[in-house]
Amino acid sequence: ASIEASSLILKCMQQILFSDKVEEPHSQILPAISRIKENPDIDISIKDLAALCGISESHFRRLFVSEMGMSPLKYKNKLRLNRSCDYLINHMLPVSRVAEIMNFDTVYSFSKFFKNEMGISPLKYVKSKHSI
- Encode pLDDT of 65-95 as tens digits: 999 999 999 999 999 999 999 999 999 999 9
- DSSP letter for 119, please: S
Does residue 112 carry a pLDDT above 90?
yes
Question: Is there a contact between 81 and 118 (Cβ–Cβ < 8 Å)?
Answer: yes
pTM of the model: 0.76
Give the integer Cα–Cα distance in Å for 75 and 65. 10
Give the integer Cα–Cα distance in Å for 119 and 114. 8
Burial (CB < 10 A; 0-12, 13-18, 19+), residue 121, is middle
Does residue 124 carry a pLDDT above 70?
yes
